Amino acid sequence: MANPNPGADKGTNFSQTGVIECGQQILNLNQPVVMGILNITQDSFFDGGRYLTNESIIDRAGLMLEEGASIIDIGAVSTRPGSAGVSAEAEIQQLIPAIEILRKNYPEAIISADTFRSATAEMAIEAGAGIINDVSGGTMDEKMIGFMADTNAAYVLMHIQGTPENMQVNPVYSDVTKEVSGFFRERLDFFESKGKQNIILDPGFGFGKNLEHNYRLLADIRHFKDMGYAVLAGVSRKSMINKVLKTTAAEALNGTSIINTIALLNGASILRVHDVKEAVEAIKLTETYLSVNS
């Protein structure tokens, strides 16, 4: 397997400063980057049903890349709270052709496949995905962790309590940061034993967490970054914003920008968003502020 840590020989921490291998491509994380969300589903909580045709998929991805997205994260299964999901066959039929279309039209783009199924992940990588974004952190397919350990695609290791169908039914933790950290550490020990280091950590905002849990994790992003891996913040238009501001997802752009800025100040390396332009602006302003006051 190719060296998953090209910056290691220089003494850099690949996922905090430097680069991370995404299959045959390299993601530069010297500064935070944006992952643009492309849901090719009927029922995603914000943009379900908007991007189902080849033309709309190409156009939407092109716009996000033009606005500054470094990654296009494409998913064919809604994981909104209460969703029951779709079959593996239906996911594959929708997702794989879309990845092939993106790879053909945007050969330089880094494509992330949003899936919790190892069989889908394998096909996605063959179709051109360089990142697998697994909302279950391997808890919904026991083969996923072993499969990802043997690939040179990057892996977004996300924490979830329960499943999308039941995750928001009274989530309980004694110490949410400690429990999420313990989950990460167990998985990372396995990956590190296999020599795999191109891992991205995602605390899973809104995935089996109540309002207090989400804001505690937001404050503790640097704790996860100190584990030695890049941290992804996926807060875009979520209920942790809307419950506080009494807004809907459609009204939550300003709130998203504010929470994204807090995440950046606390050490996030990747913002996963519906609105790329605004996230890029948040990164530019935050990086300017940090550079002047360093």
Q: Is residue 196 part of a domain?
A: yes
pLDDT at 81: 67
Query: Per residue in 170-211, pLDDT tens?
Result: 889 999 999 999 999 999 999 999 999 999 999 999 999 999
272 carries an active-site annotation: yes
Q: What is the CATH number of the domain that holds 228?
A: 3.20.20.20
The domain of 162 spans 8-292
- Encoded tokens for 84: 């029951």
Q: Which of 104, 194, 272, 277 is catalytic?
A: 272
For the chain, helix (H) and strand (E) counts, in that order, are 10, 10
Could you report the per-residue pLDDT of 68-79, keeping only the tens digit for each? 999 999 998 877
Q: Is 237 one of the catalytic residues? A: no
What's residue 12's pLDDT? 31
- Tell me, yes or no, whether 146 lies in a domain: yes
Is 2 contained in some domain?
A: no
CB of 273 closer than 8 Å to CB of 256:
yes
User: What's the domain count of the chain?
Assistant: 1
Region 233-248: what's the mean pLDDT?
Answer: 96
**Which distant-in-sequence residues (6+ apart) come within 8 Å of 111 by Cβ?**
71, 72, 74, 99, 102, 103, 128, 129, 130, 131
- 1 pLDDT band, cuts 50/70/90, is very low
Report if residue 1 sits inside a domain.
no
Q: Is residue 52 part of a domain?
A: yes
Q: Does the residue 123 lie in any domain?
A: yes
Q: Which of 178, 238, 246, 277 is catalytic?
A: 238
